Structure 1
Amino acid sequence: MEALQKFLSGRIWLRDFTPFPQEEIENAIDAGFIAVQKGITEDLKCARCLEQSTEKIVSYNCAKCEAECFYCRHCIRMGRVSSCTDLITWKDPLSLTPHSHSFTWNGELTNLQQLASDELSESLRKNRSHLVYAVCGAGKTELLFPPLHKALSEGKRICIAAPRTDVVLELSPRLKAVFPDTTIHTLYGGSALEEGFAQLVLATTHQLYRFSQAFDLVVVDEADAFPYSYDPALARAVIKSLKADSPIIYVSATPSRKLLKAIPNQSKIFRRFHGHALPVPEYRSLWNYRKSFNANKIPEKLAGWVKLRLEKNEPFMLFFPTIEMIRQAEPLFKWIDNGIEAVHSKDEDRKEKVMKLRNGEIRGVLTSTILERGVTIENIQVGVVGADEEVFSASALIQMAGRAGRSSAFPNGEVIFFHNGISRQMDKARDLIISYNREGRR
């Protein structure tokens, strides 16, 4: 019963798909420990993700109840929620008592990081939400460490949520090293079940559909990133996962105007932790590059840039606008060097490939926007093929450029926007980076 309580506390879960025997579930329901609710409410709202649009809550002929039923298309990848399915949660969530937590980070914050960390701590003391607006490489994660340690020691349950699995996987080992005695769970699509009751949860924002009134604090990392910034249901999931009147910390290098306006308590850092300026992208024309790839040729300028990186033994990321183009280009680049790999959202081995790039086992990667955030590789050089394509917003271009120059040992990485005509988003990204550098010098 204790293991069941720890699993369900703060969670909302499909009754028929828990990792526990159904007999144990039934006994807990009969004893009054577990609350049961229908997956689709009478007013046709999904009780898990709170979606209620007629496009997402649709009817079908259900074999289980042998009648017309409704189900939620929006969160179906996490298991079908329908009118005749039950969702369960533990009635009285576990409460944590304040106790000390090991804190093993020995780094030092810069003056700007320390100021932001102190401002954040003050907001949490007053139980108010806060925005950390800081450029790529400013050390946003590190400045969170002291406020998080204080919150954990006060017995608060915390979730750090990020829109993408790759960001969660990058954060997980760092947080586990800083808080070695804290029970930490890492949740994403396909993640293994972890035992115990986690006081600190790292999760993709989609995983928050499965939580309700669970956390005293939620940190939304990369708050501007797709899909969080485009899907209102994910913002609702964050709020649903919080206990009443609990604060949210938003962390972003490129926050939207809406977020800047909505959160009055803000900390701004426009200088990287090592004090060097952000690399300013260089424009380099690559006329008719699609035609070249269709003819099984790498454009000459692009091939020259990659060969120079290889000669200098510099790892590189080369971003492409589509997975189709990555697949088209991969065999061509392997003719240059077999140590070049492709990494994208449909690549099951992307985690291992990124680790190999970090360890110097591969020379460079052809990638999609999947690696625009949360990945730090020392001395990485960055190229964007088709930077003028619509898929590349200014914020995405800033994030991709932000992969370069992050290390204090190699603070001046190169960023090239290869284009078939300069777009407004390219100019916006470049102008913003220049403005950040100007603000950072003040």
Structure 2
Amino acid sequence: MWKGTDTRKQKSPVQFAWTGNLTPHQQKAADELAQSIAQNRNHLLEAVCGAGKTEILFAAIYDSLKADKRVCVATPRTDVVLELYPRFQQVFQKISIDALYGGAENNAEFAQLVLVTTHQLYRFENAFDVMVVDEADAFPYTYDEALQRAVMKAKKADAPIAFVTATPSNKLLNQQRKENWGYSFIARRFHGHPLPVPRFLSLWNYEKAFQKNKMPQKLHTWVKQRLQQNEPFLIFLPTIELMEQATPLFQKIESTIESVHSEDPDRKEKVLQLRNEQRTGLLTTTILERGITIKNVQVAVVGADNPVFTSSALIQISGRVGRNVQYPTGDIVFFHHGITMEMDRARNKIMEMNSYE
């Protein structure tokens, strides 16, 4: 277990190599966050999917690294760690950065900036001067008190925590108010365009169709449109079992369509192939609801009425669309066997965010 002792052989001055510009909304949030961290005060950053939350973190992390503090960015999902690691390597140069997740190689040296899945925090005790919990509402962290305790154990007693999420739980919002944390709110994406609003499309008896080895016509049409327009796509399904039944049917339409789930050893490679335009589309469970950015991606949820698709999950899934400044719009469709309250909540929340100036 890593404890708060210094194992680095030498201390290199961190080099900040980000040349982008923040929007006024981002800059305000970045300043507020940096001020809270400097004061060892907890902070909640609530910002819509695609607001540029990672870029907002840069200033506070840079200030901490310059002060020779150890910083941990923890997230419940391996996919988020894999997405963030190359970006942080590019921005924070001349320092050691580790990425720790299930299956990753163990580094014998304790880096100054550590990106981890929340499960990997069990390795650490009293080790970090600053803790960032990214995607703070995500499963399993939000439901697992042991993981929440691991965050507290891994940081030093007086170290501040920055919670970052597009869909904070009521518990997190109440805690922020009760304990008087710092708070920042951004309702706009970095490129200024509104969030894509999901459309609802009935897909009656989709489970029976897959079980009978048949592709529902509306879904077949949607996939064909994506292929004709050369648009990458993600199709979310509620269970691994249903996804595995459906995969061969999709592969009859286009052989490069594949499926991914939490236990898939090739998940990282398949997502990379989609990003690099070597693959047209992926079927997925909720494992890819966050932490993945694909240029011009179009998204469908099959069985959006299933209880696994909570309003926060549906908001996150919708947030995969329109993230790129060159492709700020796109299609997000909820195929359903009856509209649920969670579906309505998700759409209403997205429309509410779009109404903010």
TM-score of the aligned structures, taking structure 1 as reference length: 0.78
Q: Partners of 2:73 and 2:346 in 1: how far apart?
A: 27
Instruction: Report the alpha carbon displacement of residue 292 of structure 1 after superposing the two structures with TM.
Output: 0.4
- Confirm or deny that 1:222 pairs with 2:135: yes
Partner residue, 2:317: 400
8 A contact 2:137–2:167 mirrored in 1: yes
Partner residue, 1:337: 254
Partner residue, 1:213: 126
Match of 1:319 among 190, 211, 236: 236
SS at match of 2:251: helix
Kindly provide the CA deviation profile for residues 379-408 of structure 1, in whole angstroms up to 9, marking residues without a partner as x: 000000000100100000000000000000
Which structure has more RCO (C-alpha within 8 Å, separation ≥ 6)?
A: 2
Partner residue, 1:281: 198
- Confirm or deny that 1:435 pairs with 2:344: no
Instruction: Report the alpha carbon displacement of residue 210 of structure 1 after superposing the two structures with TM.
Output: 1.2
Cα RMSD for the two superposed structures: 1.3
Q: Partners of 2:106 and 2:141 in 1: how far apart?
A: 24
Q: Partners of 1:177 and 1:197 in 2: how far apart?
A: 19
Partner residue, 1:136: 49
8 A contact 1:99–1:155 mirrored in 2: no
SS at match of 2:241: helix
Q: Partners of 2:284 and 2:298 in 1: how far apart?
A: 13
Instruction: Report the alpha carbon displacement of residue 99 of structure 1 after superposing the two structures with TM.
Output: 6.1
8 A contact 1:379–1:413 mirrored in 2: yes
- Confirm or deny that 1:122 pairs with 2:39: no
Partner residue, 1:419: 336
- Confirm or deny that 1:158 pairs with 2:71: yes
Match of 2:302 among 382, 385, 407: 385
- Confirm or deny that 1:179 pairs with 2:96: no
8 A contact 1:98–1:153 mirrored in 2: no
- Confirm or deny that 1:189 pairs with 2:97: no
Partner residue, 2:227: 310
8 A contact 2:13–2:95 mirrored in 1: no
Match of 1:111 among 3, 19, 24: 24
- Confirm or deny that 1:246 pairs with 2:159: yes
Match of 1:374 among 275, 288, 291: 291
Match of 2:269 among 333, 349, 352: 352
> Gaps spanning 5+ residues in structure 1: where?
1-7, 11-91
Larger radius of gyration between Structure 1 and Structure 2: 1
8 A contact 1:110–1:273 mirrored in 2: yes
Q: Partners of 2:174 and 2:33 in 1: how far apart?
A: 18
> Gaps spanning 5+ residues in structure 2: where?
none
Amino acid corresponding to residue 321 of structure 1 in structure 2 = P
Instruction: Report the alpha carbon displacement of residue 372 of structure 1 after superposing the two structures with TM.
Output: 0.5
Q: Partners of 1:197 and 1:240 in 2: how far apart?
A: 17
Amino acid corresponding to residue 145 of structure 1 in structure 2 = F
Instruction: Report the alpha carbon displacement of residue 194 of structure 1 after superposing the two structures with TM.
Output: 1.9
Instruction: Report the alpha carbon displacement of residue 279 of structure 1 after superposing the two structures with TM.
Output: 0.2
Amino acid corresponding to residue 120 of structure 2 in structure 1 = Q
- Confirm or deny that 1:235 pairs with 2:235: no
TM-score of the aligned structures, taking structure 2 as reference length: 0.97
Amino acid corresponding to residue 328 of structure 1 in structure 2 = Q
Q: Partners of 2:266 and 2:79 in 1: how far apart?
A: 12
Q: Partners of 2:113 and 2:37 in 1: how far apart?
A: 16
Instruction: Report the alpha carbon displacement of residue 246 of structure 1 after superposing the two structures with TM.
Output: 1.0
1:91-102 map, 5 Å: 93-94=5-6, 100-102=13-15
Q: Partners of 2:2 and 2:291 in 1: how far apart?
A: 30
The ranges of structure 1 where at least 4 consecutive aligned residues each deviate by more than 3 angstroms after the TM superposition are: 95-99
Partner residue, 2:210: 293
SS at match of 1:202: strand
SS at match of 1:268: strand
Q: Partners of 1:98 and 1:345 in 2: how far apart?
A: 38
